[in-house]
Amino acid sequence: MRYGEKLNVMIDFNALNIDQSAKDNIAVWMNGSYDEQTKQAIEVMAANPVELNESFYRHLEFGTGGLRGIMGVGTNRMNRYTVAMATQGLANYVRQCYPAGEPLKAAVSHDSRNHSREFAEITANVLAANGFKVYLFDGMRPTPELSFVVRHYGCHTGVMVTASHNPKEYNGYKAYWNDGCQLTAPHDTGVIDQVLKIQHLEDVKMTGGEKNIEIIGEELDKIYLARVEKNSLNPDIIKRHAGIKIVYTPLHGTGIVLIPRMLRQLGFTGVNVVEEQAVPDGNFPTTPSPNPEEHAAMKMAVDLAKKIDADIVFASDPDADRVGVAVKRPDGDWMLLNGNQTLSVILYYLINQWQEKGMLRGNEYVVKTIVTSNLPADIAQNAGVKVYDVLTGFKYIAGKIREVEGKETFIGGGEESYGYMIGDFVRDKDAVASCSMIAEIAAWAQEQGKTFFDILVDIYLRYGFYKEGLVSVVRKGKSGAEEIKQMMANYRSNPPAAICGDRVVCVKDYQLHTSLDLTTGQSSPIDLPTSNVLQFFTQNGMKVTVRPSGTEPKIKYYFSVRATLDSAANYETVNAELDARIEAIKKDLQLV
């Protein structure tokens, strides 16, 4: 297979040391109806066989949550063609799930990343060409608003073009079902099967449905924000403390569209936006990574907080579903909360206020994921509120809501990876609603003469001091994926007998659906969907979870330890002890 007229060269791709699958995929693209610029880019890549192989050795996997990958030319990259083919597969699946002739509807939004608007328009065009009525936002909007609009318009599906908090090289594509939730069984695998059948661009309907696209914007913003405002439990407290100093950064993402506006709508007057990071920019020029879980991403916001002596700091990721929070300690320094801590404070406040206002009727519940701290569960159970544990990912939280909808009342939920949900009108993590509630909690704390940090310490004093840690081991490319697979196989066949000298007494394998009590030798079933996750519980209460990331080339290790905090004055001492325990676990597992 040769092609090279435009560059006046002859390239024999078959002679290159690359996988046969890559050669086959290259042949399809070079001989197919792909644009000349793409074909020339493939020729240029021939000078780097490793890059060429990585770009074409497989088709970009449409996982259970959609697409995510590095942008570029190739079957294993995010580009206009892989987006179009994935959308055709999605359209085919949705169509077969409903009676012939039923009018179908879809909603499409996107974040601030490079090519996101282009990919969103391609997605809308393919869906429209397949006969869908498509609601396309006039510009970037947060992920939670997309989820809301799917429900508001009664859409059959929705797509959010985003790679969430990944580095700038990435883009992605989250697919939603008719309840505003990301795809769950059986629809997740059903869509995947249909996407795999789309092997050629000729299988995709690209044009002809433009009249089916309706551009939406401000009118939906108003409806969504009005619903977020209803979450407020103490508008009177907000009025009394409207001037609390809030620092917010959207990290060059979609949060700038709605979060400052929502805070002002609630009545907060002291909102300070990090101006350098307020401009939407897919290159994320002021931070090495637009991930509010990382200290570097929060630095400019914390610096501003120190300068103006702020009361609370928060940041949203590019698609405004995750939130990072920083709080001021008694010594005046600032501390970044992890997702477990923020979730614990949010649920503590919600449950406390539901109790005070007589809103608990006995059928309320919260939802957390299996890798999240047990502190939120302790808070809820102490108040008589039911707790559901689900697999990692907000689609499982939303799935539980769907399962008990109409029978039980959802208060809130979340996961350790900085995602939270208040109320069930959105079925994905929601930074707009979360930032609004965090600001309200800061005002509530001030009403009591306290800070957000003081509320966290109050929780530790009452329920125990929980501390968590996370290590992500990155293994990129084909070889990295194989290495991660082998690492999980090794843990499964040879689990640790002890961690830091603390005997492992229970192993939970969510792939095999078994919980094995090593003390008695008895095995019990786990009633959750299959997931490649292992958990090790020790005699003295440590929990270690190991799982491959579903969206990034890494394997993740989660650690949880606990101690008693008998007084606020001992916070630093106990905190240091728990940090030392986590570091010891990392060393024992050879992660440092």
Tell me which of 105-109, 251-255, 286-290, 324-328 is least confident. Answer: 286-290
Backbone φ and ψ for 512, nearest 5 degrees, come out as -95, -5
Q: Is residue 193 part of a domain?
A: yes
Is 172's pLDDT higher than 90?
yes
Domain co-membership, 435 together with 315: yes
pLDDT at 10: 65
Is 511's pLDDT higher than 70?
yes
CA pair distance 529, 511, nearest whole angstrom = 8
Q: Which of 409, 437, 463 is the last residue of a domain?
A: 463
Residue 496 Ramachandran class (φ > 0 left, ψ -120 to 50 alpha, else beta): beta
Please name the helix (run of DSSP H) or strand (run of DSSP E) that holds residue 69, with its range, or none. Answer: strand 66-70
CA pair distance 293, 322, nearest whole angstrom = 9
| Total domains in the fold of the chain | 3
pLDDT at 551: 66
pLDDT range class, residue 184, cuts 50, 70, 90: confident
For residue 165, what are its two tokens?
A: 């908090």
For residue 164, what are its two tokens?
A: 């969430």
Domain co-membership, 390 together with 444: yes
| Contact (Cβ atoms closer than 8 angstroms) between residue 255 and residue 314 | no
Is 6's pLDDT higher than 70?
no
Is 113's pLDDT higher than 80?
yes
Domain co-membership, 207 together with 347: no
CA pair distance 369, 216, nearest whole angstrom = 34
pLDDT at 147: 98
Q: Any idea what the CATH number is for the domain that residue 511 is in?
A: 3.30.310
Q: What is the mean pLDDT of residues 147-159?
A: 98
Q: Is residue 349 part of a domain?
A: yes
Tokens 């990072």 belong to residue? 324
Domain co-membership, 265 together with 318: yes
Q: What is the mean pLDDT of residues 313-336?
A: 97
For residue 361, what are its two tokens?
A: 């009727």
Q: What is the mean pLDDT of residues 173-191?
A: 93
CA pair distance 131, 195, nearest whole angstrom = 18
pLDDT range class, residue 199, cuts 50, 70, 90: confident
Domain co-membership, 473 together with 422: no
| Contact (Cβ atoms closer than 8 angstroms) between residue 456 and residue 554 | no
Is 47's pLDDT higher than 70?
yes
Is 9's pLDDT higher than 60?
no
Is 64's pLDDT higher than 90?
no
Domain co-membership, 399 together with 526: no
Which three-class secondary structure state does DSSP give residue 275?
A: helix
pLDDT range class, residue 441, cuts 50, 70, 90: very high
Domain co-membership, 248 together with 138: no
Q: Is residue 41 part of a domain?
A: no
Is 5's pLDDT higher than 90?
no
pLDDT at 549: 83
Domain co-membership, 432 together with 335: yes
Q: Is residue 311 part of a domain?
A: yes
pLDDT range class, residue 108, cuts 50, 70, 90: very high
Please state, for a pLDDT cut of 70, what percent of the chain lies above it: 98
Is 3's pLDDT higher than 50?
no
CA pair distance 317, 330, nearest whole angstrom = 28
| Contact (Cβ atoms closer than 8 angstroms) between residue 390 and residue 400 | yes
Please state, for a pLDDT cut of 90, what percent of the chain lies above it: 89
Q: Which of 200, 216, 232 is the last residue of a domain?
A: 216
| Contact (Cβ atoms closer than 8 angstroms) between residue 398 and residue 273 | no
Q: What is the mean pLDDT of residues 472-501?
A: 90
| Contact (Cβ atoms closer than 8 angstroms) between residue 182 and residue 176 | yes
pLDDT range class, residue 197, cuts 50, 70, 90: very high
Is 205's pLDDT higher than 70?
yes
pLDDT at 63: 77
pLDDT range class, residue 4, cuts 50, 70, 90: very low
DSSP secondary structure of 98-137: S-TT---EEEEEE-SSTTHHHHHHHHHHHHHHTT-EEEEE
CA pair distance 30, 117, nearest whole angstrom = 26
Is 313's pLDDT higher than 80?
yes
Domain co-membership, 339 together with 192: no
Q: Within 153-234, where are the H helices? A: 187-197, 218-229
Catalytic residues: 164
Q: Any idea what the CATH number is for the domain that residue 283 is in?
A: 3.40.120.10
- Output the average pLDDT for the chain: 94
Q: Is residue 52 part of a domain?
A: no
Q: Is residue 15 part of a domain?
A: no
Q: What is the mean pLDDT of residues 305-331?
A: 97
Q: Which of 172, 200, 216 is the last residue of a domain?
A: 216
pLDDT at 327: 98
Domain co-membership, 254 together with 368: yes
Q: For strands 246-249 and 312-316, give the pairing.
A: parallel
Q: What is the pTM of this model?
A: 0.93
Domain co-membership, 73 together with 178: yes
**Cβ atoms within 10 Å of 33's Cβ, excluding its own:** 9
Q: Is residue 17 part of a domain?
A: no
For residue 255, what are its two tokens?
A: 């949060």
Q: Terminus-to-terminus CA distance in the chain, angstroms?
A: 47
Residue type, 424: D
Selection from 170, 111, 172 nearest residue 140 by Cα: 111
- What tens digit of pLDDT does each residue of 565-581 get? 999 999 999 999 999 99
- C-alpha of 11 from chain center: 42
Of 8 and 270, more confident? 270
Domain residue limits at 130: 58-216
Residue type, 472: S
| Contact (Cβ atoms closer than 8 angstroms) between residue 366 and residue 412 | yes
Total residue count of the chain as it appears in this document? 592
Domain co-membership, 351 together with 212: no
pLDDT at 11: 84
pLDDT at 1: 38
CA pair distance 174, 421, nearest whole angstrom = 18
Q: Within 198-234, where are the H helices? A: 218-229
Q: Is residue 489 part of a domain?
A: yes
pLDDT range class, residue 176, cuts 50, 70, 90: very high
CA pair distance 325, 490, nearest whole angstrom = 36
Q: Within 328-451, where are the H helices? A: 339-356, 375-382, 394-404, 431-447
β-bridge partners, 272: 247
